[in-house]
Structures are given as structure tokens and as C-alpha cells.
Amino acid sequence: MKAISFGGNSGSPQTAAWHAWRQMGIGGSDSIILAADEGLVKAPAWVKTSKWLWEVKTGRRSGEIPANFAMKRGTESEGLAREMFIRKTGIFITPMFGENEKHPFIRSSFDGVDFCQEVIAEIKVPSLENHLIAKGGHVPEYYLVQMAHQAVTLWEHPDLFDGKQVNYVSLHPETNDLVIIDKVSSGGFEIPLISCLKPLAERIIGIESIFWNSVKSDTLPCGTEWVVAANEYLAAEKEMDVWKQKGDLAKSRLIELLGEKTREVGGGITMSRVAKAGSVDYKALIKAHLPDLPEEEIEKFRKSGSESFAIRKYDEIEA
């Protein structure tokens, strides 16, 4: 890894030089966005889209997010978490910044790396709910992506991860409770957390390389073929909207002319007045007559699901 120096005692120094450096590459939090858009992980609501990230990296919008209470709480407690980690493990770690030697656009701001650069500590200061999840030995999958990205930054490639160590560190500062996860359960066995990151790291290198090429070529991540197809769809939808409005007006006129009749024929169409009963809410019916029936018993009778596609228009200024 090529080390970069910004000084300070935090993995997020918030200096102009640091922000400029982050702008010129893909960081750990960026990797979550890209992995989520590729369907690699399910991201929480606060994660942006790859289009948003592309606009940030191409200078079309600002990527700065105003600091909120949770962010300030995390920044203020990061140093304490690092000290507690050192005392608890005997491993001295310090904030570090660096770039992948082969792919310098892959870069990370590490909360903690040891002197020999063989140990990474990713520090989180989450809500009590998420801290309790960590106490149960679980790491959110989107943070696994972030740590896989960091591992690629520091150790270049998954083939070189053997013998290295990654720690997910969760601190609840109000109670001074620190949780360190370096192993996870898999198939009934405890395996090093670094082992879980290898397959993610393989995918991340490819995903991030493709995205960065779109940034350098000033081409939307979705690709030009998608943009062309999307424009054709919007044009067709606009035409359909016009004809639908005309159809709705003509139908309203026919209803008006039908009056109290139940049926009318002529001009190439037949119009009938049809009464339809409302559908039965079978789930409510079952609950009313079998209130103690477990939900899982009802689910046994659910038919196979189906796949559909939802298309939503957005404004160009939308986040």
C-alpha cells in the first residue's frame, strides 16, 4: 500500500486536503454504495446510489454531508475506542491513510492499523440496538463490504490476505462497553473474519474498477445503452400519457351518454354497466375465526411469489 499522510488523530481528519484526496478515488463508505447497487448486499436507507456517487466524483454535486449527532458522537468517541482496543488486545493501532499500489483509486481512511500493517481495526460507535447486535457476534453485511475494501487497499489482493487480521470494533460510549469481533460463525465453526472478506474483496475490485472507468470517461455508471433505452421508454410513456388522457375523456363522454342504461351498442364498441363484489380479506377472516392460529401456519398456504419490475421517474437534482 502507498501510505498518505494527513496528520491528526482520527480516521476522518476533515481537512481540505483529505476531502480532495477522497474526491479522487473510492473510499470505504463509497464501496458500500457500489456493492448495494450491484445487489451484493442489502444497504440501509441512509446509503446513497451509485449515480449520486458518480455525480460527486465527477464534480457535478457536493458529496459533503452535514454532521449530525450520530456522526459527531462517532468522531468524538473514536479515540477512546482505539485506546480501549489497544488495552484489551495489546495491539497498538493508529489512524492511517493509503492507496492500493496497483489500483490507486482504491483508497481508505483507516480507523486503526498496526505498525506491521497486518491488523485492521474498523471502529463503529453505533446505537445501542446495533451495539447489542455486535455483542451477539454479528457484523452488518454492508460493513463487511467496507472492511473488504480496506483489506484490498492495505494488502492489495485477496490472495495476500492469509495471516492478516481484521477486527470489527463496536463501542457504546455511554457505558464504556467495547466489543471486538475478529471471528464469526460459519457452518458451526468459528472462522477468522478476514476469511469472510475474501470473496467480497474479489467482487469489489471488479465493481470499483468498472465504476472508476465510468468516472474517468464521464459516462454514467448505467452505461450509454441503458440511457438510450431509458430515453426511449420515457418518450413512449409520454405518448402513452397523451393517448390515455384522450381515452379517459372519451370514456367519460360514453359514460355520460349511457345514462341509466345498463348496455349500449354502436360505433364499433359495446358498453355495459357491471357490478362487482369486493374481494374477501382471507387473512382477516382466518384471524377472526382462528385467532390463535400461528402466522407460520398461515404462511404454509401462501402461493409462490412472482417477480415484477417497478420503474420510477426522478428529477436530475434528486439525491
Sorted by sequence, the CB contacts under 8 Å of residue 133 that are 6+ apart come out as 140
Contact 208, 26 (CB under 8 A): yes
Nearest Cα to 180, choosing from 113, 81, 93, 110? 81
Q: So what's the architecture of 2-216 in CATH?
A: Alpha-Beta Complex (3.90)
Residues 20, 192: contact at Cβ < 8 Å?
no
Q: How confident is the model at residue 14 (pLDDT cuts 50, 70, 90)?
A: confident
What are 56-85's pLDDT values in tens digits? 999 999 888 777 888 888 888 999 999 999
The per-residue pLDDT for range 159-205, each reduced to its tens digit, is 999 999 999 999 999 999 999 999 988 777 889 999 999 999 999 99
Side-chain-facing half-sphere of 259: CA atoms under 13 Å:
4
Residue 319: predicted pLDDT: 47
pLDDT attached to residue 318: 52
Q: Where in the chain are the domains? A: 2-216, 224-299
Instruction: Give pLDDT tens digits for 258-298.
Output: 999 999 999 999 999 998 899 999 888 988 988 888 888 88
